[in-house]
Amino acid sequence: MSVDTTDVSRETLVRPIGTLSKQYLLALVAALGAIGVWVFFYLQQLQHGLIVTNLADWGSGGGVPWGLYIGAFIWWVGIAHGGIILSAAVRLLGMDRYQPVARMAELLTIAALTCAGVFILIHVGRPDRLVTSVLPAWPTRVQWSPLMWDVTVITAYFVLTATYLALTIRYDIHRLRDRLPDQLEPVYAVLMVGYSEREDAIVERMVWWIAFAIIIMAPLLLHGGVIPWLFALLPSMAGWAGGVQGPSFLSIALTSAVSGIIIVAASFRRAYGWEELVPVEVFRGLAKWLGFFGLIFLWLQLQQVITGIFAAPTTLQHATEVKIATPVYWVAIGLVLAAMLYVFACSLRPSLFSIPVLVALSFGVLVGTLVEKVLFVVEGLQHAHFQLYDGVPGVYVPSPVELSALLGTVGIVVLFFLVVAKVIPVVELHAIEAAHEGGDDA
Amino acid sequence: MDDEGRLPFDDQSETEMRRVLSETEYDTDLGLEMARDAQRVVAGELSDAEFYARYHEDMLEEFGQDARELPELRDDLDGEVVSETSDATSVRESLAALADREDVSRRELLAKGGAAAAALSVFAGAGSGSGGEHGDTPTDGDGTRWGMVINLNNCDGCLACVSACSQEHGLSRGANWMYVFTYEDRNQDDENFLVRPCQHCTDSPCTKVCPVGARHTRDEDGLVLTDYDICIGCRYCEVSCPYGVNYFQWGEPDVPDAEIPNEHQLDDRGKWVGSRPPEGVMGKCTFCVDRQDGQMGEERVGTTACEEACAMDAIHFGDLNDEESAPNQHLHEYRGEQENDRSSFPDRTEHTVSTFNLLEERGTSPNVHYIGNEPSPHAEQVEGPVSYEDVGLVDDRSEVLDDGAAANEEGEEA
Amino acid sequence: MTAAALPTVLAALLPLAASSGGGGHSLPFVGPGTYLIFGIVLAPVYLMVVAWYVGEPSDRSKAWLGVGYLVGLTTVLWGSLFVATMAIDVLYF
């Protein structure tokens, strides 16, 4: 396979690796600062226990045992899903237009999954037992506990995504090696173990199959499956049980993931002058997906509200009424609605389209989906079917400890991209080859 | 209790069964007879082996095969020893499971499970531990199954049970493993009480969802316990429980470990399941597992701290499978005291005692049975005759937790 | 303290350790998750691995590389989590 790319294009591709700007250092300091704030609070939590969060027992305890930690966990997993779904779709369906952002999407997936893992770790009361209790119990518990299904599938999914990245990166490193920093030679040596140009076609086929496995697992079974089942299978809480949670979770995941990819891609484009590498058409396309997924999200919210207030069982009716009486719920809906309306308006009048506006609206969508997720978890717990307790519904306001974890995980994602961008090209070589050759791979 | 009392085979139900059974190609009388005996198996009157033997040939003749999937019984008939754990309940379970499967049409059910299962399905739930409604006791197979009959009519809301439980187990403030509601309800003028320990469900959602098997049902006696050495503190049991009986140990326990002797903490299997949980681990009512294991003396086996503290004779703890146990005896006696006038009104029920299981529709098969009125969806908790504060307890635990969180934060800043 | 705790921990990690699952629970060994996880959810992964070895073009050494990544990354993931949790254990519990 010949590489028919001009030096300029390749220089563009590796531009983040060679340069070191003031903005980069600033971002690095900000990310480390955010992580530092979280670590400070988390050490307090380890010292004193989960009592430092605002969580409490539902029932006579007058609180909620699951809060922002679980809401943010679902949110990060959702962002992770959309990322790899997009990347896998590029490969499977030949959506070459999105090739420039495919690897960023994969990287976002890995970073977001890591954050989801962090939230599990800090959510449990005994993090020291996470491995020693879970692994020995796995063979006897995976058939029963939806939480074990979750652990299993997320592990599988993380491993598949990382394998996908590790295999696809070989092609690029081989061809760009002379432009990559010598100090990192040992890293590349490990990544390239046993490489020969003959393997390209074979590896291409292997990653096609990984993409295939991912595209079946991620939407149908992960964010449309085990994650919603954590809640949908429990009839004790009025707002949780029911089959609509699968589609609903998936719609939220895809909406937030596209937003995340838009933000990441726009950041790189701006930081490294990648106007030609990530052309505006990519953003127009991503915007349409954002609008479409946002529409599905809003439609499923409508379904839940209408079925919850028309003639629902007492507790579900109450839960729904409280939900629609909560102002912050409408903020969440409004943020997604705003993004959707903007995208649709741009379809009618393309001149309205602007990447900064889209990025701003994407931030809004991320906030909106996070709020919706946290509300879902908390309000579900506040409206148990057994509502005789005076303390039900209890009150819940996220504590500084919990909020710091949100800040910290955002910091982790930023740090991840800052580091990775210095080691490997965050855009596949195929992207510029495709641009020059008109797309030569299926 | 005679058969008539236990089995709801009145004319109407028999007509209904005949109708259902006659829709099939199989022998209606055989089906009815088997259904009666299947109910007796459920009620623990007839052993599984007897049931199996009694109908084996009839089944072969009628269906060409005996589809009752009871291999352990065949072993039993062959003279092999049936292990203690795979006891009679498994037959009841397989029959009941068959009868409960709503996705199977009645005709399919007949083909698969035989007429007895179909007959049982007509009465699904009638004999499966719901108890009370038809004048029976909540016995359910052999082996010990600890449980309670709580007579709410006797409760006066003094909270002695809550205090006793809290003290005996060294609970932190607000972690009321035993909890008493005072509530007002529509169409009921006076104060009502609901006494709420853990229900120690036979089909407990908490054990199903536990990712690490820390929350488990002890096979020997059906206690639902938490292995404090394994629990990771994910609180999934707490969100799956419909009753709200779980209390997480959010911070350092009020009573230090050193003050709790080992024998109260470790059960007869050597597992740490007794007394209050350590920090970061889930706790809930254990039905005083240390007492049941004889750690507080033989005379306290079959008792609980709350039962002992109750001066109103409301709480009755014991082996639900034993007709002579305290809960079953209380049920008999109380019903005897509330007999209906059947001489003038022969159609009336034997007694006027109302019993219920909490949230029975959740399908958890609780092992706590109540005498009295079930709170309606409109019931509202009110201040009781004795407040939690009066007896040195805390009702709303979030107040304690908020204090703890604030104190810690201040401590860090100071 | 660490040195003493480690063998216990390693023993507990053996899947066949008697303590697995907390013991004494009476749920049947086969549950809804058995079919869900092993029959449905992981089916695409089985298919993927089979496809790596059969069909054209394929290469046994590259297929092993892929399997190595799957196994290695799983080990690294849980191994590093184990290290992190042990550090927390030693410092705080």
pLDDT tens for A360-383 read: 999 999 999 999 999 999 988 888
Chain A neighbors of C65, CB-CB under 8 A: 167, 193-194
- Which of A136, A142, A155 is opposite residue C33, by nearest beta carbon? A142
- Residue from the list B211, B358, B404 with its beta carbon closest to the beta carbon of A141: B211
Burial class, A9, CB count within 10 angstroms (exposed 0-12 / middle 13-18 / buried 19+) = middle
Domain containing A362 equals: 10-433
How many Å lie between the alpha carbon of A145 and the closest alpha carbon of chain C?
A: 8
Query: For residue B254, which phi and psi values (nearest 5 degrees)?
Result: -65, -35
Instruction: Find the mean pLDDT for residues A235-263.
Output: 93
Distance linking the first and last C-alpha atoms of chain A: 14
List chains adjacent to chain A, taking adjacency as at least 3 C-beta pairs closer than 8 Å.
B, C
Q: For residue B248, list its beta bridge partners.
A: B282
B215 neighbourhood in chain C, CB within 8 Å: 22
Are B406 and A54 a contacting pair, CB within 8 Å? no
**Six-digit token pair at B382?**
């009110």
CA B238 to centroid of chain Cα atoms: 18
Residues A346-355, mean pLDDT to the nearest whole number: 95
Cβ pair C59, A201 in contact under 8 A: no
Closest CA to A393 of A69, A67, A58, A51: A58
What share of residues in chain A are helix, strand, coil (percent, to 5)? 75, 0, 20
* CA A89 – CA A78 distance, rounded (Å): 16
Whole-number Å distance between alpha carbons of A15 and A23: 15
Q: Which residues of A172-205 are buried (b: 16+ CB within 10 A; e: fewer)?
A: bbbbbeeebeeeeeeebeebeeebeeebbebbbb
**Beta bridge partner(s), residue B196:** B179
Cα A154 from Cα B62, distance rounded (Å): 51
Give the integer Cα–Cα distance in Å for B365 and B362. 8
A359: tokens are 């990025």
Contact A132, B213 (CB under 8 A): no
Separation in Å, CA of A395 to nearest CA in chain B: 9
pLDDT at residue B121, as a whole number = 44
**Strand partners of residue B317:** B148
Whether domain B146-341+348-406 has CATH 3.30.70.20: yes
Would you say A141 and B239 are in contact if contact means Cβ atoms under 8 Å apart? no
Q: Which residues have C-beta within 8 Å of that of residue A292, sequence separation ≥ 6?
A: none
- pLDDT at position B64 is 56
- Strand-strand pairing, B247-248 and B146-151: unpaired
CA distance B271 to A70: 30
Residue type, A47: Q
pLDDT score at B61: 66
CB contact under 8 A, B217 and C25: yes
Burial pattern A293-320, b for ≥16 Cβ within 10 A else e, equals bbbbbbebbeebbeebbeebeebbbbbb
Categorize the per-residue pLDDT at A433 as very low, low, confident or very high, splitting at 50, 70 and 90.
Answer: confident
* Contact state of C22 with B213 under an 8 Å Cβ cutoff: yes
Q: B180 forms bridges with which residues in the sheet?
A: B195
Looking at residue B63, its pLDDT comes to 55
Instruction: Give the C-alpha separation, A139 to B153, whole Å.
Output: 47
CA distance B135 to chain C (A): 29
Per-chain mean pLDDT for chain B: 78
| Domain assignment present for A371 | yes
In angstroms, the CA C23 to CA C7 distance is 21
The tally of domains found in chain A comes to 1
Long-range Cβ contact pairs of A204-207 (< 8 A, separation 24 or more): A204/A441, A205/C51, A205/C55, A205/C57, A205/C58, A206/A167, A206/C51, A206/C52, A206/C58, A206/C62, A206/C63, A206/C66, A207/A91, A207/A164, A207/A167, A207/A168
Q: What is the pLDDT of residue A423?
A: 94
pLDDT at B66 over 60: no
Position A185 in a domain? yes
Q: Looking at residue B349, what is its pLDDT?
A: 86
The residue among B248, B279, B356, B393 with the most chain A CBs within 10 A of its CB, best to mutate, is B248
**How deeply is A23 buried, as exposed, middle or buried, from its count of CB atoms within 10 A (0-12, 13-18, 19+)?**
exposed
Burial class of residue B131 (count of CB atoms within 10 Å of its CB; 0-12, 13-18, 19+): buried
End-to-end CA, chain B: 69
Residue A440 falls within a domain, yes or no? Answer: no
Whether the per-residue pLDDT at B4 is higher than 50: the answer is no
Query: Does A439 fall in a domain?
Result: no
Burial category of B269 from C-beta neighbours within 10 Å (exposed 0-12, middle 13-18, buried 19 and up): middle
Domain coordinates of chain C in residue numbers? 28-92
ipTM at complex level: 0.91
The answer to whether residue C18 scores a pLDDT higher than 60 is no
Domain boundaries, chain B: 146-341+348-406
> What's the average model confidence in pLDDT over A312-331?
91
Other C-beta atoms closer than 10 Å to the C-beta of A212 total: 17
Q: A412-416, B63-67, B260-264, C73-77: which has the minimum mean pLDDT?
A: B63-67
Position B147, amino acid:
G
Enter the pTM of the model: 0.82
Residue A157 has pLDDT above 50, yes or no: yes
Q: Which residues pair with B225 in a beta bridge?
A: B216
Q: Which of B92, B99, B101 is nearest to B42 (CA)?
A: B92
C25, C37, C85, best to mutate vs chain B, most B CBs in 10 Å: C25
Which of B209, B210, B215, B237 to probe by mutation at the A interface, max A CB count within 10 Å?
A: B209
Tell me the pLDDT band of A85, cut-offs 50, 70 and 90. Answer: confident
Backbone angles phi, psi at B182, to 5 degrees: -105, 130
For chain C, the straight-line distance linking the first and the last C-alpha, in angstroms and rounded, comes to 11
C-alpha–C-alpha distance, residues A16 and A23, integer Å: 12
- What is the reported pLDDT for B123? 40
C53 touches chain A (CB under 8 A): no
Q: Shortest CA distance to A54 belongs to which of B269, B3, B404?
A: B404
Q: Which residue of B has its CA nearest to A151?
A: B211
Cis (ω within 30 of 0) for the bond into B205?
no
Inter-chain CB proximity B377 and A63 less than 8 Å: no
- CA of B350, closest CA in chain A: separation in Å? 32
What is the CA A32 to chain-centroid distance, rounded? 20
**Which residues does chain A have within 8 Å of residue B281's beta carbon, measured at their own beta carbons?**
125-126
Convert B132-185 into a string of H (helix), E (strand) and C (coil).
Answer: CCCCCCCCCCCCCCEEEEEECCCCCCCCHHHHHHHHHHCCCCCCCCCEEEEEEE
Distance of CA A142 to the CA centre of its chain: 25
> pLDDT > 70: what percent of chain B?
67
Residues of C in contact with B271 (CB under 8 A): 22-24
Closest residue on chain C to B211 (Cα): C21
Is the Cβ pair A194, C65 closer than 8 Å? yes
Of the candidates C19, C23, C27, the beta carbon closest to that of B207 is on: C27
Instruction: Please indicate whether, in this complex, the C-beta atoms of C20 and B271 are within 8 angstroms of each other.
Output: no
Which band of pLDDT confidence, cut at 50, 70 and 90, is reported for residue C72? very high
Interface test with B, best of A60, A154, A377, A404 (most B CBs within 10 A): A60
Instruction: Kindly identify which residue of chain A lies nearest to residue B177, measuring between CA atoms.
Output: A60
Residue B413 banded pLDDT, cuts 50, 70, 90 = very low
User: Which chain B residues are within 8 Å of C19, Cβ to Cβ?
Assistant: 230
> Are residues A236 and B231, on separate chains, in Cβ contact within 8 Å?
no
A128: chain C residues, CB-CB within 8 Å = 85-86, 88-89, 92-93
Q: Is residue A442 part of a domain?
A: no
Cα–Cα distance for residue pair A160/A216, rounded to 1 Å: 12
Residue B224 and residue B215 in contact, taking contact as beta carbons nearer than 8 Å: yes
Pairwise CA distance, residues A355 & A358, whole Å: 5
- Minimum CA–CA partner of B268 in chain C: C24
Binning pLDDT at 50, 70 and 90, where does residue B186 land? Answer: confident
In C10-39, the residues whose Cβ lies within 8 Å of chain A are: 12-15, 17, 19-22, 27, 29-34, 36-37
Task: State the nearest Cα–Cα gap between C54 and chain B, in angstroms.
Answer: 37
